[in-house]
Chain A
C-alpha cells in the first residue's frame, strides 16, 4: 500500500496512521487527541484558501493545519473496520 502524508488525502478518504514526525510538544498533544500509529483516520474536509483540515479518529473530530498534517505519515486505502 502506498505511504503518503495526511495532508495529501482527499475528503472522504480513509487511511491508517503509520508514524508521527512532530516535535515533543506537538507529539504529546496529538497523542492526547488520539493520533497513534495503527489508528484509522478519515479526512472529512479541507477549508478553502489552503486552510486547515478536518479529520476524524474514532468519535473525535479534529482540526489541524496542512503543515501539521504533513508531519503525519499514513498508509492510504486501509480497509474499513
Chain B
C-alpha cells in the first residue's frame, strides 16, 4: 500500500485536514503540539487504497525535542511515497524553511497552503502558480476549516503518487550550514511570489488581547471565565443528569423488572442491581460529559489556552514549571491521559517529570461526575456549585504544593518560548465532532472498565451467598473492616472504602459502585447518601477521591511516558499520602471546630 505522510509545523491544521480527508478522529485544538501520537487512516485514492499518517507538528527537521525525533525516525524508517506538507498561509514567510528542508531530502512533495481564508483576511496574497514554478512542486491553497480547495488538491495527490519514489537522502543530519542556503532560497521565493503588508491591520485578536491579557485585568478575567464555566456546567448539567437517571429508573421498573421476573433471584440481582444500576448511574452522566467537552472544545480551539500560559507563566516559573505546564493542567480537566502525553513538547526531562507529577491532581471529567453527584446529594442547590468550584481550587492547590515540595528534585533550565496563535472560533461541525469523539471515548471506557467494575463490586457485596447483601459478612464487608483503621480517621465508612478501591480502576466506577453497594440508583441513591453521611464526611470523601491515585489508564500512561517504574510508583505513593493527609486535616479540623 502506498503511504502518505502529513508534515508541517505545529498548529497548521494538519489534524483538521487529516480528519477531513479520512473522516477520522484526530483530536484538534488551537494549541501547538496537540498531535503527540501517530494516527493513520486509509482512504481510496484513484482506485487504490492509500494510508495517510498524521505526524506531530515540528518546527525544524533538525531539532532535538521528542516530537521532532519521532518525525525524523518515522521518515527514516518508513520512507513515505509522498509527503503532504501543510503550511499555515498566514505565516508562510516563516514556515517555508521547513518545506525547503524537506525539499533537500529529495522527497516526493505536495504542498497545501492551509488557512487560505485567514490569510485573505490579513491581506496576504500568494501567487500559487509562481511559487509552484520557483519551487518545482505542486502547491495548493485551501481551507481545512471550511473545506474549500479540496478536489484539486486530492487530484494532484493522486497524480503525484503514480511517480516512483525517489530514494531518501541519507544526509538527514546535515548541519546548520544548510540553513544559510535555505535562507537565501527562501528570500528569493518570497520576494517573487508573496506580498505581505508591512503592518498588519489591527484585527479582532489584538482587540480581544488588549482586554484578555491586560496587566491587571488578565488574571481576574481568567478566573472569572473558569468560575462561569464550572458554574454553567453544574447548573445546566445537574438537572440533565437527574432527569436521565429518573428515566433509567423508570425503564427498570416499567420494562426490565417485569421482563426478568422469571429468572432466579441471584441472576436477577446481578443483572438489575449489579450491571443495570451501576451502568445506568454512570451513563446518566453522558450529557454532562458532552456539555463539559463542548465547553472544553470551545476554550481549546479558541486559542485562549496559550493566553492562559502567558498569564500564569510567572507563577509557574516559581514552581519550577512553565506556562505550558499550566495549560497541561487545564487540559487535564478533560482527561489526564492526553495531558500527560502533551508533556512531550518539553525537552528538559526534569521539567517533564515534574509536570507529570502534578497533572494527576487535575480534576478530570471522571472525577467531576463523582463530585456533581455527591454535591447535589449533600449540599443545597445554592451551595453545590460553590463546593464544586472549591474542589477545583483544591486541585490547583495540590498541584502547586507538590511542585513546591519537589521542584528542587527536578531542577531545570528549560527555556519558555511559545507561539501565540490568533483567536479562532470553532465551527459548529468541529464542536459537534469533538462532542461525539468524547461520547465514543466514554462508551469505550464504559464497556471496558465500568461493566467489569460493577460486576466485581456486586460479587464482592453478595458473596458468600450466606451473608446478607452488603453486610459486614460479605467479602466487601471484610475488606472494609480490614481497612477501617486507615479510613475511619478521615471519616470514610466501609461502603465508601469499597467504592474508592474500585475508583482506582476508573473514577467513573465510584458512583456506579455506590449504586451497586447500596442497591439503589439515581435519586434514591442520593437520598440514601444524604441520610447516611453528613457534609464533613462527604467533603472528606471528595477530597480523597480528588487527590488519590489517578485511574489505571493514567498510571499506564505515566509509566510509558516516563519510562521509569520508580517514578510511577512514587507518583502513586505520593498521591495516596497527600490524599490521606488532606482528608485527615480537613475532617479532624472540621470536627474540632464543632461541625
Contacts and interface: CB of A to CB of B under 8 A. Distances in A.
A58 B196 contact: yes
Interface in B193-242: 196, 198-200, 209, 213, 215-216, 218-219
Contact of A26 (B59, B215, B415, B418): B415
B311 A51 contact: yes
B94 A34 contact: yes
B315 A49 contact: yes
A50 B59 contact: no
B64 A63 contact: no
B305 to A, nearest CB: 12
A47 B91 contact: no
Given A28-B62, A29-B63, A30-B417, A63 B93 contact: no
Contacts of B315: 49
A45 B213 contact: yes
B194 to A, nearest CB: 11
A64 B292 CA distance: 31
Contacts of B347: 25
B570 interface: no
A64 to B, nearest CB: 5
A43 to B, nearest CB: 13
B90 interface: yes
A78 interface: no
Contacts of B419: 33, 60-63
A34 B310 CA distance: 19
Contacts of A65: 313, 317, 322, 415-417
A32 interface: yes
B488 interface: no
B428 to A, nearest CB: 27
A67 B347 CA distance: 17
B247 interface: no
Contacts of A28: 60, 62-64
Contact of A52 (B90, B97, B199, B323): B323
Contact of A81 (B198, B200, B313, B416): B198
B213 A54 contact: yes
Interface residues of B, number: 45
Nearest to A57: B94
A59 B314 contact: no
B216 to A, nearest CB: 7
Contacts of B497: none
Contacts of B209: 44-45
B288 interface: no
A31 B420 contact: no
Nearest to A52: B313
B179 interface: yes
B213 A64 contact: no
B68 to A, nearest CB: 9
A29 B91 contact: no
A49 B313 CA distance: 9
A59 B124 contact: yes
Nearest to B219: A48
Interface in A4-53: 22, 25-26, 28-34, 36, 44-52
B284 to A, nearest CB: 42
Interface string B317-345: 10000110000000000000000000000
A26 B236 CA distance: 46
A65 B323 CA distance: 10
Interface string B7-30: 001000000000000000000000
A57 B306 CA distance: 17
A32 to B, nearest CB: 3
Given A29-B63, A31-B60, A32-B97, A48 B416 contact: no
Contact of A63 (B59, B199, B418, B422): B418
A56 to B, nearest CB: 8
Interface in B385-428: 415-422
B416 A68 contact: yes
B122 interface: yes
A78 to B, nearest CB: 12
Nearest to B62: A28
Given A28-B60, A28-B64, A48 B215 contact: yes
28 contacts: A28-B60, A29-B417, A32-B98, A34-B94, A47-B213, A47-B215, A47-B311, A47-B314, A49-B314, A50-B314, A51-B310, A51-B313, A51-B314, A54-B420, A58-B91, A59-B90, A59-B91, A59-B196, A61-B421, A61-B422, A62-B418, A62-B420, A63-B309, A63-B310, A63-B416, A63-B417, A65-B322, A68-B417
Interface of A: 22, 25-26, 28-34, 36, 44-52, 54, 57-65, 67-68, 80-81
The 5 closest A-B pairs by CB, nearest first: A51-B314, A32-B59, A49-B314, A61-B420, A34-B94
Given A32-B98, A63-B306, 13 more contacts: A26-B415, A29-B59, A32-B97, A33-B59, A45-B209, A47-B213, A47-B311, A47-B313, A49-B314, A51-B314, A60-B91, A62-B419, A67-B415
